[in-house]
Structure 1
Amino acid sequence: MKKTALLTITGLFPFVVFSQPLDLLNNFLNETKQASGAFEQQTFQKDGKPAEELQRGTFSFSRPGKFVWTYTSPYPQKMVCDGSRIYIWDEDLNQVTVRSAKGAIPKSPASILFGTQSYKKDWNATQPKQEDGYTWITLTPKAKDASVNSVS
């Protein structure tokens, strides 16, 4: 089942007034080499109902390709990427899984924040909209067999 991901990220990001609406996203992705903050993540079914519980956690990254993504709830889990491998620690199972970053990141939503190339190769962006005090930009994958329908 394909899912839509809604990701709210807060942290220390530079704020600049831009002439074009997508300049905010492009500037962030081109100029920000490292950042950290907190996130909330929710996936939805096609009918708009939540597919899973709301997930919360923290993140930090250093481009290109290095990050720590920590889920604090509902189930603790930590993903650490050194640029070539992703280590996924599942606290409940007391187990670490190691995967190649090369195959895991490029077309995933993570590639938008941590990837080494422009999101424009694999994602289409909508014009931003203001809602609830946030600026929302929705990205949809160009690939027809993507694991998600969109990321906002």
Structure 2
Amino acid sequence: MKLKIFLCWTGVAFLVFSPTLVDAQSPSLNDIVTKVQDQYDTNSDFKADFVQESLVKSLGKKQVSEGEVFFKKPGKMRWNYQKPFKQEIVSDGKTLWSYRPEEKQVVVSPMSQAAQGKVPSTFLAGLGNLKMDFQIRWAQEPSPQEPYFLELTPNEFQGSLEKLFLLIDRENYRILRAKIQDLMGNTTQISFSKTQFNNRLPDSLFTFTPPKGVEVFQMPGAAPPGKPGK
């Protein structure tokens, strides 16, 4: 369940790719979406610290996680969770490894199966288009000096995804926060800080070899442990 929630919004993180751009005039909603998309399309990688807040509505239970994330086009990612427990979620764009050191277990699955739904598959592949994939409106009317707050509703069925909310820096069009709401009212929110772009991240960062003594659960179609996906 946690992995599915993670995958639902993780592809959206690619949208934080953006150089600094400043508009002298207040742009329209359409202009803002275009600028976010343009900046996402022009960068090769990024890294950032993140805070993830997950809420299960029916239980009223909230969990806060912290760590560092790395993304590289097309579709490569690494999430290093540090709190409340260590976890690594790594993908070379084709194979996904989910590893929890304290449990001494790693789950290996094809990215094509793990990231079911158009949102993660297209954005992780660098092919997503906000205007084509979503109906977009203001989640809150814009006010001077405040970040833009957008509400996105998928045009097509996207698994459990009901809505996506984006908080966007009004000066550089970076995504400061992304929040997913599912059909059950559960939410997962990710906030980014210390973001850096175009770091020339090596491909080796996005592969995973299970440590000795770790139990490997390999899902059908996944590449053998320690080998990149085909």
TM-score by shorter chain over 0.5: yes
Shift of 1:118: 1.2
1:79–1:86 Cα contact (<8 Å) kept: yes
Shift of 1:111: 4.5
Distance 1:114 1:12, change over 3 A: closer
The residue aligned with 2:54 is: 43
Equivalent position amino acid for 2:162 in 1: N
Matches within 5 A, 1:53-132: 53-105=63-115, 107=117, 110-111=120-121, 114-120=124-130, 122-127=133-138
Counting matched residue pairs gives 147
Distance 1:119 1:75, change over 3 A: farther
> Using CA pairs below 8 Å that are at least 6 residues apart, which structure has the higher relative contact order?
2
1:55–1:73 Cα contact (<8 Å) kept: yes
Q: Distance in 1 between matches of 2:60 and 2:146?
A: 22
Shift of 1:116: 3.1
1:33 is the counterpart of 2:35: no
Q: Deviations over 1:106-134 (max 9, x none)?
A: 52764575333214454443347568954
Q: Deviations over 1:15-34 (max 9, x none)?
A: 21354121232123211210
Q: Deviations over 1:41-84 (max 9, x none)?
A: 2234568x964312221111111111101222222211110111
1:107–1:122 Cα contact (<8 Å) kept: no
Shift of 1:13: 3.9
RMSD (Å), alpha carbons: 3.6
Shift of 1:139: 3.2
Shift of 1:102: 1.1
1:86–1:101 Cα contact (<8 Å) kept: yes
Pick the structure with more strand per residue.
1
Q: Distance in 2 between matches of 1:145 and 1:118?
A: 13
TM superposition score normalised by structure 1: 0.72
- What is the percentage of aligned positions where both structures have the same residue? 19
Q: Structure 1 stretch 81-90 or stretch 117-126: which is displaced more?
A: 117-126
Runs of 4+ in 1 over 6 A off after TM superposition: none
TM superposition score normalised by structure 2: 0.51
Distance 1:17 1:51, change over 3 A: farther
Question: Considering only CA atoms, is the larger Rg found in Structure 1 or Structure 2?
Answer: 2
1:138 is the counterpart of 2:156: no
Gaps of 5+ in 2: 166-230
Pick the structure with more helix per residue.
2
Distance 1:111 1:6, change over 3 A: closer
Distance 1:104 1:72, change over 3 A: same
